[in-house]
Structure 1
Amino acid sequence: MLYSNTQGIGADLVLLHGWGFNSALFSHLVDDYKNQYRITLIDLPGHGRSANVDGGLNEWCNEIIKILPNNPILLGWSLGGLLAINIANKIKISQLILLASTPKFIKDNDWNYGIDANNFEQFSNTLQLDPTQGLKRFISLQTDNKTQLKSLKRSLDTLPASPNALAQGLAILLKSDLRKPLKQLTIPVQVILGERDTLVPIAIIKWYELHNISLTLLNTGHLPFLHPDFELSII
Protein backbone atom coordinates (compact mmCIF):
# COMPACT_ATOMS: atom_id res chain seq x y z
CA MET A 1 0.00 0.00 0.00
CA LEU A 2 1.21 3.50 -0.81
CA TYR A 3 1.35 6.34 1.71
CA SER A 4 -0.52 9.53 0.87
CA ASN A 5 -1.46 12.71 2.71
CA THR A 6 -3.89 15.41 1.61
CA GLN A 7 -4.05 19.01 2.84
CA GLY A 8 -5.57 22.27 1.70
CA ILE A 9 -8.58 23.51 -0.24
CA GLY A 10 -9.21 24.07 -3.92
CA ALA A 11 -8.50 22.13 -7.11
CA ASP A 12 -6.76 18.78 -6.60
CA LEU A 13 -2.99 18.93 -7.08
CA VAL A 14 -0.93 15.73 -6.75
CA LEU A 15 2.85 15.85 -6.25
CA LEU A 16 5.13 12.94 -7.25
CA HIS A 17 8.73 13.05 -6.01
CA GLY A 18 11.84 11.53 -7.57
CA TRP A 19 14.24 8.64 -7.04
CA GLY A 20 15.47 7.99 -3.51
CA PHE A 21 13.51 10.80 -1.86
CA ASN A 22 10.02 10.91 -0.33
CA SER A 23 7.07 13.28 -0.27
CA ALA A 24 8.56 15.35 2.58
CA LEU A 25 10.63 16.92 -0.19
CA PHE A 26 7.57 18.99 -1.06
CA SER A 27 6.62 20.14 2.45
CA HIS A 28 7.40 23.79 1.71
CA LEU A 29 5.24 23.66 -1.44
CA VAL A 30 2.34 22.45 0.68
CA ASP A 31 2.86 25.37 3.06
CA ASP A 32 3.02 27.83 0.16
CA TYR A 33 0.04 26.56 -1.84
CA LYS A 34 -2.40 24.76 0.48
CA ASN A 35 -4.68 27.81 0.55
CA GLN A 36 -5.03 27.59 -3.23
CA TYR A 37 -5.06 23.84 -3.88
CA ARG A 38 -6.05 20.59 -2.25
CA ILE A 39 -2.61 18.98 -2.30
CA THR A 40 -2.00 15.24 -2.17
CA LEU A 41 1.50 13.99 -1.39
CA ILE A 42 2.36 10.40 -2.30
CA ASP A 43 5.42 8.36 -1.37
CA LEU A 44 6.48 6.33 -4.41
CA PRO A 45 6.61 2.53 -4.05
CA GLY A 46 9.32 1.47 -1.60
CA HIS A 47 10.08 5.11 -0.76
CA GLY A 48 9.27 6.90 2.47
CA ARG A 49 6.32 5.20 4.17
CA SER A 50 5.14 3.21 1.13
CA ALA A 51 5.46 -0.55 0.68
CA ASN A 52 7.42 -2.05 -2.20
CA VAL A 53 5.58 -2.81 -5.44
CA ASP A 54 6.92 -5.53 -7.70
CA GLY A 55 7.47 -4.49 -11.30
CA GLY A 56 8.41 -1.36 -13.20
CA LEU A 57 6.84 1.75 -14.68
CA ASN A 58 3.32 0.43 -15.30
CA GLU A 59 3.05 -1.42 -12.00
CA TRP A 60 4.17 1.63 -10.04
CA CYS A 61 1.74 3.86 -11.93
CA ASN A 62 -1.18 1.48 -11.45
CA GLU A 63 -0.66 1.59 -7.68
CA ILE A 64 -0.49 5.39 -7.69
CA ILE A 65 -3.68 5.62 -9.77
CA LYS A 66 -5.59 3.71 -7.08
CA ILE A 67 -5.23 6.62 -4.65
CA LEU A 68 -5.52 9.61 -7.00
CA PRO A 69 -8.42 12.07 -6.72
CA ASN A 70 -10.60 12.59 -9.79
CA ASN A 71 -9.17 14.66 -12.64
CA PRO A 72 -6.21 16.10 -10.70
CA ILE A 73 -3.45 18.45 -11.72
CA LEU A 74 -0.46 16.10 -11.73
CA LEU A 75 3.03 17.36 -10.95
CA GLY A 76 6.09 15.14 -11.26
CA TRP A 77 9.71 15.91 -10.42
CA SER A 78 12.52 13.95 -12.13
CA LEU A 79 11.52 10.24 -11.97
CA GLY A 80 8.10 11.44 -10.82
CA GLY A 81 7.77 13.19 -14.17
CA LEU A 82 8.07 9.90 -16.05
CA LEU A 83 5.40 8.41 -13.81
CA ALA A 84 3.18 11.45 -14.34
CA ILE A 85 3.46 11.23 -18.15
CA ASN A 86 2.54 7.56 -18.05
CA ILE A 87 -0.39 8.14 -15.68
CA ALA A 88 -1.67 10.98 -17.89
CA ASN A 89 -1.97 8.45 -20.72
CA LYS A 90 -3.92 6.01 -18.53
CA ILE A 91 -6.51 8.20 -16.79
CA LYS A 92 -8.07 11.64 -17.08
CA ILE A 93 -6.06 14.45 -15.53
CA SER A 94 -6.61 18.18 -16.00
CA GLN A 95 -3.01 19.32 -16.38
CA LEU A 96 0.54 17.95 -16.34
CA ILE A 97 3.48 19.79 -14.77
CA LEU A 98 7.00 18.40 -15.20
CA LEU A 99 9.81 19.67 -12.97
CA ALA A 100 13.38 18.94 -14.10
CA SER A 101 12.03 16.03 -16.07
CA THR A 102 12.07 14.59 -19.56
CA PRO A 103 10.23 11.83 -21.45
CA LYS A 104 13.55 10.02 -21.89
CA PHE A 105 16.51 10.45 -19.54
CA ILE A 106 19.11 8.45 -21.48
CA LYS A 107 20.86 9.57 -24.66
CA ASP A 108 20.92 7.26 -27.68
CA ASN A 109 21.16 7.33 -31.49
CA ASP A 110 17.89 9.20 -32.03
CA TRP A 111 17.80 11.21 -28.80
CA ASN A 112 20.52 13.78 -28.12
CA TYR A 113 18.73 15.39 -25.18
CA GLY A 114 19.61 12.82 -22.54
CA ILE A 115 22.64 11.92 -20.48
CA ASP A 116 25.15 9.28 -21.50
CA ALA A 117 24.16 5.81 -20.27
CA ASN A 118 27.65 5.14 -18.88
CA ASN A 119 27.67 8.44 -17.00
CA PHE A 120 24.21 7.68 -15.63
CA GLU A 121 25.27 4.22 -14.44
CA GLN A 122 28.38 5.66 -12.83
CA PHE A 123 26.24 8.25 -11.03
CA SER A 124 23.68 5.64 -9.94
CA ASN A 125 26.32 3.13 -8.81
CA THR A 126 27.93 5.79 -6.62
CA LEU A 127 24.57 6.65 -5.08
CA GLN A 128 23.67 3.02 -4.43
CA LEU A 129 26.83 2.45 -2.38
CA ASP A 130 25.36 4.72 0.28
CA PRO A 131 22.05 6.17 -0.96
CA THR A 132 21.29 8.37 2.03
CA GLN A 133 24.72 10.03 2.13
CA GLY A 134 24.82 10.29 -1.66
CA LEU A 135 21.46 12.04 -1.81
CA LYS A 136 22.46 14.37 1.02
CA ARG A 137 25.55 15.43 -0.93
CA PHE A 138 23.40 15.84 -4.03
CA ILE A 139 20.88 18.20 -2.41
CA SER A 140 23.70 20.16 -0.75
CA LEU A 141 24.79 21.14 -4.27
CA GLN A 142 21.26 22.25 -5.19
CA THR A 143 20.37 24.79 -2.49
CA ASP A 144 22.06 27.12 -0.01
CA ASN A 145 18.98 27.37 2.19
CA LYS A 146 20.10 25.84 5.48
CA THR A 147 16.54 25.35 6.77
CA GLN A 148 15.54 23.46 3.62
CA LEU A 149 18.71 21.37 3.71
CA LYS A 150 18.20 20.38 7.34
CA SER A 151 14.59 19.34 6.69
CA LEU A 152 15.43 17.35 3.55
CA LYS A 153 18.37 15.57 5.16
CA ARG A 154 16.24 14.64 8.18
CA SER A 155 13.58 13.10 5.91
CA LEU A 156 16.24 11.01 4.16
CA ASP A 157 17.58 9.77 7.50
CA THR A 158 14.20 8.82 8.93
CA LEU A 159 12.54 7.48 5.76
CA PRO A 160 15.14 5.89 3.48
CA ALA A 161 13.99 4.11 0.32
CA SER A 162 14.33 0.32 0.14
CA PRO A 163 17.16 -1.21 -1.93
CA ASN A 164 14.55 -2.96 -4.08
CA ALA A 165 12.75 0.29 -4.87
CA LEU A 166 16.02 2.09 -5.62
CA ALA A 167 16.94 -0.59 -8.17
CA GLN A 168 13.46 -0.50 -9.74
CA GLY A 169 13.49 3.29 -9.95
CA LEU A 170 16.88 3.34 -11.65
CA ALA A 171 15.64 0.77 -14.18
CA ILE A 172 12.64 3.01 -14.95
CA LEU A 173 14.96 5.99 -15.48
CA LEU A 174 17.31 3.94 -17.65
CA LYS A 175 14.74 2.21 -19.88
CA SER A 176 11.72 4.51 -20.22
CA ASP A 177 10.99 6.31 -23.48
CA LEU A 178 7.76 8.30 -23.18
CA ARG A 179 8.24 10.72 -26.06
CA LYS A 180 5.27 9.39 -28.00
CA PRO A 181 2.88 9.29 -25.00
CA LEU A 182 3.85 12.86 -24.07
CA LYS A 183 3.28 14.13 -27.62
CA GLN A 184 -0.15 12.45 -27.68
CA LEU A 185 -1.49 14.37 -24.69
CA THR A 186 -4.17 16.98 -25.40
CA ILE A 187 -4.20 18.51 -21.91
CA PRO A 188 -2.08 21.55 -20.90
CA VAL A 189 1.53 20.57 -20.21
CA GLN A 190 4.03 22.80 -18.42
CA VAL A 191 7.74 22.16 -17.96
CA ILE A 192 10.05 23.89 -15.47
CA LEU A 193 13.79 23.29 -15.94
CA GLY A 194 17.02 24.34 -14.26
CA GLU A 195 19.69 25.92 -16.46
CA ARG A 196 22.44 24.20 -14.46
CA ASP A 197 20.80 20.77 -14.27
CA THR A 198 23.37 18.00 -14.83
CA LEU A 199 20.75 15.24 -15.20
CA VAL A 200 18.36 16.91 -17.66
CA PRO A 201 20.49 18.65 -20.32
CA ILE A 202 19.27 22.16 -21.05
CA ALA A 203 19.35 21.38 -24.79
CA ILE A 204 16.01 19.58 -24.34
CA ILE A 205 14.29 22.97 -24.48
CA LYS A 206 14.56 22.64 -28.29
CA TRP A 207 12.42 19.50 -28.22
CA TYR A 208 9.87 20.98 -25.84
CA GLU A 209 9.59 24.15 -27.93
CA LEU A 210 9.27 22.10 -31.13
CA HIS A 211 6.21 20.41 -29.61
CA ASN A 212 4.71 23.67 -28.31
CA ILE A 213 5.09 22.74 -24.65
CA SER A 214 5.03 25.64 -22.19
CA LEU A 215 8.49 26.11 -20.70
CA THR A 216 9.99 28.00 -17.76
CA LEU A 217 13.74 28.20 -17.17
CA LEU A 218 15.28 28.97 -13.77
CA ASN A 219 18.90 29.64 -12.87
CA THR A 220 19.23 26.50 -10.78
CA GLY A 221 20.04 22.79 -10.89
CA HIS A 222 17.94 19.62 -10.65
CA LEU A 223 15.64 20.85 -7.85
CA PRO A 224 13.98 23.94 -9.38
CA PHE A 225 11.22 24.00 -6.76
CA LEU A 226 13.82 24.99 -4.15
CA HIS A 227 14.74 28.12 -6.13
CA PRO A 228 13.36 31.36 -4.59
CA ASP A 229 11.85 32.37 -7.95
CA PHE A 230 9.96 29.10 -8.37
CA GLU A 231 6.25 29.66 -8.84
CA LEU A 232 3.36 27.38 -9.70
CA SER A 233 1.32 29.04 -12.44
CA ILE A 234 -1.44 26.54 -12.99
CA ILE A 235 -3.81 27.12 -15.89
Structure 2
Amino acid sequence: MPGHGRSANVDGGLNEWCDEIIKILPDNPILLGWSLGGLLAINIAKKIKISQLILLASTPKFIKDSDWNYGIDADNFEQFSNTLQLNLSKGLKRFISLQTDNKAQLKSLNRSIDALPASPNALSQGLDILLKSDLRKLLKQLTIPVQVILGKRDTLVPVDIVKWYKAQNISLTLLNTGHLPFLHPDFELSII
Protein backbone atom coordinates (compact mmCIF):
# COMPACT_ATOMS: atom_id res chain seq x y z
CA MET A 1 0.00 0.00 0.00
CA PRO A 2 1.26 3.49 -0.73
CA GLY A 3 3.24 4.97 2.16
CA HIS A 4 3.42 1.67 4.04
CA GLY A 5 6.50 -0.48 4.46
CA ARG A 6 8.85 0.18 1.55
CA SER A 7 6.21 1.73 -0.74
CA ALA A 8 6.45 5.38 -1.71
CA ASN A 9 3.83 7.90 -0.61
CA VAL A 10 1.09 8.76 -3.07
CA ASP A 11 -0.91 11.93 -2.52
CA GLY A 12 -4.65 11.52 -2.81
CA GLY A 13 -7.31 9.11 -1.74
CA LEU A 14 -8.83 5.80 -2.74
CA ASN A 15 -8.58 6.21 -6.52
CA GLU A 16 -5.02 7.55 -6.49
CA TRP A 17 -3.83 4.73 -4.23
CA CYS A 18 -5.55 2.15 -6.45
CA ASP A 19 -4.07 3.63 -9.62
CA GLU A 20 -0.60 3.32 -8.09
CA ILE A 21 -1.17 -0.32 -7.14
CA ILE A 22 -2.58 -1.16 -10.58
CA LYS A 23 0.77 -0.12 -12.13
CA ILE A 24 2.50 -3.10 -10.54
CA LEU A 25 -0.20 -5.78 -10.90
CA PRO A 26 0.14 -8.67 -13.35
CA ASP A 27 -2.62 -9.40 -15.86
CA ASN A 28 -5.81 -10.91 -14.44
CA PRO A 29 -4.57 -11.14 -10.84
CA ILE A 30 -6.15 -12.65 -7.76
CA LEU A 31 -6.41 -9.75 -5.30
CA LEU A 32 -6.31 -10.24 -1.55
CA GLY A 33 -7.02 -7.14 0.53
CA TRP A 34 -6.72 -7.06 4.32
CA SER A 35 -8.66 -4.43 6.29
CA LEU A 36 -8.15 -1.08 4.51
CA GLY A 37 -6.58 -3.08 1.67
CA GLY A 38 -9.97 -4.70 1.10
CA LEU A 39 -11.42 -1.33 0.13
CA LEU A 40 -8.55 -0.86 -2.30
CA ALA A 41 -9.05 -4.35 -3.74
CA ILE A 42 -12.79 -3.79 -4.27
CA ASN A 43 -12.09 -0.50 -6.04
CA ILE A 44 -9.34 -2.06 -8.18
CA ALA A 45 -11.75 -4.85 -9.18
CA LYS A 46 -13.95 -2.13 -10.68
CA LYS A 47 -11.06 -0.63 -12.63
CA ILE A 48 -9.29 -3.66 -14.13
CA LYS A 49 -9.96 -7.30 -14.91
CA ILE A 50 -9.14 -9.58 -12.00
CA SER A 51 -9.86 -13.29 -11.64
CA GLN A 52 -10.81 -13.40 -7.95
CA LEU A 53 -11.22 -11.08 -4.98
CA ILE A 54 -10.40 -12.17 -1.43
CA LEU A 55 -11.36 -9.84 1.40
CA LEU A 56 -9.56 -10.51 4.65
CA ALA A 57 -11.06 -8.94 7.80
CA SER A 58 -12.55 -6.30 5.57
CA THR A 59 -15.86 -4.68 4.78
CA PRO A 60 -17.08 -2.44 1.96
CA LYS A 61 -17.91 0.24 4.56
CA PHE A 62 -16.04 0.57 7.85
CA ILE A 63 -18.15 3.24 9.56
CA LYS A 64 -21.55 2.51 11.09
CA ASP A 65 -24.45 4.79 10.19
CA SER A 66 -28.26 4.76 9.99
CA ASP A 67 -28.37 2.20 7.16
CA TRP A 68 -25.23 0.18 8.02
CA ASN A 69 -24.91 -1.60 11.37
CA TYR A 70 -21.79 -3.58 10.47
CA GLY A 71 -19.15 -0.96 11.07
CA ILE A 72 -17.30 0.97 13.72
CA ASP A 73 -19.13 3.68 15.62
CA ALA A 74 -17.92 7.04 14.24
CA ASP A 75 -16.92 8.27 17.73
CA ASN A 76 -14.86 5.13 18.40
CA PHE A 77 -13.21 5.49 14.99
CA GLU A 78 -12.32 9.11 15.73
CA GLN A 79 -10.78 8.10 19.06
CA PHE A 80 -8.79 5.30 17.34
CA SER A 81 -7.71 7.74 14.61
CA ASN A 82 -6.58 10.36 17.14
CA THR A 83 -4.58 7.76 19.09
CA LEU A 84 -2.78 6.66 15.93
CA GLN A 85 -2.05 10.19 14.83
CA LEU A 86 -0.61 11.14 18.23
CA ASN A 87 1.76 8.17 18.39
CA LEU A 88 1.55 5.78 15.45
CA SER A 89 3.85 3.09 16.81
CA LYS A 90 2.26 3.04 20.27
CA GLY A 91 -1.27 3.13 18.83
CA LEU A 92 -0.63 0.24 16.43
CA LYS A 93 1.06 -1.84 19.11
CA ARG A 94 -1.88 -1.32 21.46
CA PHE A 95 -4.33 -2.27 18.71
CA ILE A 96 -2.37 -5.41 17.82
CA SER A 97 -2.11 -6.42 21.48
CA LEU A 98 -5.91 -6.60 21.52
CA GLN A 99 -5.93 -8.93 18.50
CA THR A 100 -3.65 -11.75 19.66
CA ASP A 101 -2.70 -13.39 22.93
CA ASN A 102 0.31 -15.18 21.41
CA LYS A 103 3.35 -13.44 22.91
CA ALA A 104 5.76 -14.63 20.19
CA GLN A 105 3.47 -13.34 17.44
CA LEU A 106 3.03 -10.08 19.29
CA LYS A 107 6.80 -9.54 19.59
CA SER A 108 7.29 -10.29 15.90
CA LEU A 109 4.51 -7.91 14.86
CA ASN A 110 5.85 -5.15 17.10
CA ARG A 111 9.31 -5.52 15.51
CA SER A 112 7.70 -5.23 12.06
CA ILE A 113 5.85 -2.07 13.06
CA ASP A 114 9.11 -0.52 14.25
CA ALA A 115 11.08 -1.64 11.18
CA LEU A 116 8.60 -0.60 8.48
CA PRO A 117 6.29 2.12 9.82
CA ALA A 118 3.63 3.82 7.72
CA SER A 119 4.36 7.44 6.89
CA PRO A 120 2.24 10.05 8.71
CA ASN A 121 0.86 11.19 5.34
CA ALA A 122 -0.18 7.65 4.38
CA LEU A 123 -1.70 7.14 7.82
CA SER A 124 -3.82 10.26 7.49
CA GLN A 125 -4.93 9.37 3.96
CA GLY A 126 -5.67 5.75 4.93
CA LEU A 127 -7.81 6.82 7.87
CA ASP A 128 -9.67 9.21 5.57
CA ILE A 129 -10.31 6.36 3.10
CA LEU A 130 -11.69 4.21 5.95
CA LEU A 131 -13.89 7.06 7.15
CA LYS A 132 -15.37 8.08 3.79
CA SER A 133 -15.54 4.94 1.63
CA ASP A 134 -18.80 3.15 0.98
CA LEU A 135 -18.24 0.43 -1.63
CA ARG A 136 -21.30 -1.72 -0.90
CA LYS A 137 -22.90 -1.01 -4.26
CA LEU A 138 -19.65 -1.65 -6.09
CA LEU A 139 -19.06 -4.97 -4.33
CA LYS A 140 -22.59 -6.11 -5.19
CA GLN A 141 -21.94 -5.35 -8.87
CA LEU A 142 -18.82 -7.52 -9.18
CA THR A 143 -19.25 -10.64 -11.31
CA ILE A 144 -16.00 -12.35 -10.29
CA PRO A 145 -15.64 -14.89 -7.46
CA VAL A 146 -15.44 -13.13 -4.09
CA GLN A 147 -14.28 -14.85 -0.91
CA VAL A 148 -14.38 -13.25 2.54
CA ILE A 149 -12.36 -14.42 5.55
CA LEU A 150 -13.37 -12.95 8.90
CA GLY A 151 -12.33 -13.31 12.51
CA LYS A 152 -15.06 -14.12 15.02
CA ARG A 153 -13.36 -11.87 17.60
CA ASP A 154 -12.60 -8.96 15.29
CA THR A 155 -13.05 -5.58 17.00
CA LEU A 156 -13.09 -3.57 13.74
CA VAL A 157 -15.18 -5.75 11.42
CA PRO A 158 -18.07 -7.08 13.51
CA VAL A 159 -18.92 -10.73 12.97
CA ASP A 160 -22.57 -9.74 12.38
CA ILE A 161 -21.51 -8.64 8.88
CA VAL A 162 -21.75 -12.34 8.01
CA LYS A 163 -25.50 -11.75 7.49
CA TRP A 164 -24.85 -9.10 4.85
CA TYR A 165 -22.19 -11.14 3.04
CA LYS A 166 -24.46 -14.20 3.00
CA ALA A 167 -27.30 -12.11 1.55
CA GLN A 168 -24.92 -11.21 -1.31
CA ASN A 169 -24.10 -14.93 -1.87
CA ILE A 170 -20.44 -14.29 -1.07
CA SER A 171 -18.25 -17.25 -0.06
CA LEU A 172 -17.41 -16.88 3.62
CA THR A 173 -14.91 -18.37 6.06
CA LEU A 174 -14.97 -17.60 9.80
CA LEU A 175 -11.86 -18.17 11.90
CA ASN A 176 -11.60 -18.02 15.68
CA THR A 177 -9.40 -14.93 15.62
CA GLY A 178 -9.47 -11.13 15.73
CA HIS A 179 -8.64 -8.55 13.06
CA LEU A 180 -5.43 -10.41 12.15
CA PRO A 181 -6.81 -13.70 10.75
CA PHE A 182 -3.54 -14.46 8.99
CA LEU A 183 -2.14 -15.32 12.43
CA HIS A 184 -4.60 -18.21 12.75
CA PRO A 185 -3.03 -21.66 12.12
CA ASP A 186 -5.74 -22.58 9.58
CA PHE A 187 -5.51 -19.33 7.62
CA GLU A 188 -3.57 -20.74 4.67
CA LEU A 189 -6.06 -23.57 4.28
CA SER A 190 -8.98 -21.15 4.25
CA ILE A 191 -7.77 -19.25 1.18
CA ILE A 192 -7.13 -22.32 -0.99
- TM class by shorter-chain length? over 0.9
| Higher helix residue share | 2
| TM value normalised by structure 2 | 0.95
Partner of 1:140: 97
Residues 189, 213 of structure 1: 8 Å contact kept: yes
Q: Which amino acid aligns with 2:67?
A: D
Residue 169 (structure 2) pairs with residue 212 (structure 1): yes
Q: Distance in 2 between the 1:111 and 1:233 partners?
A: 27
Partner of 1:119: 76
Partner of 1:170: 127
Q: Percent identity?
A: 88
Q: Tell me which of the two structures has the higher relative contact order, counting C-alpha pairs closer than 8 angstroms and 6 or more residues apart.
A: 2
Q: Which amino acid aligns with 2:4?
A: H
Q: How many residue pairs get matched?
A: 192
Partner of 2:52: 95
Q: Distance in 1 between the 2:145 and 2:67 partners?
A: 26
Partner of 1:23: none
Q: Distance in 1 between the 2:46 and 2:96 partners?
A: 31
Q: Which amino acid aligns with 1:165?
A: A
Give 1:110 shift: 1.3
Partner of 1:197: 154
Residues 3, 119 of structure 2: 8 Å contact kept: yes
Two-structure CA RMSD over aligned residues (Å): 1.3
Partner of 1:70: 27
Q: Distance in 2 between the 1:203 and 1:149 partners?
A: 27
| TM value normalised by structure 1 | 0.78
Q: Which runs of 5+ in 1 are unaligned?
A: 1-43
Q: Which amino acid aligns with 2:126?
A: G
Off by >6 Å, runs of 4+ in structure 1: none
Q: Which amino acid aligns with 2:77?
A: F
Q: Distance in 1 between the 2:104 and 2:30 partners?
A: 28
Q: Which runs of 5+ in 2 are unaligned?
A: none
Q: Distance in 2 between the 1:233 and 1:194 partners?
A: 12
Distance 1:88 1:63, change over 3 A: same
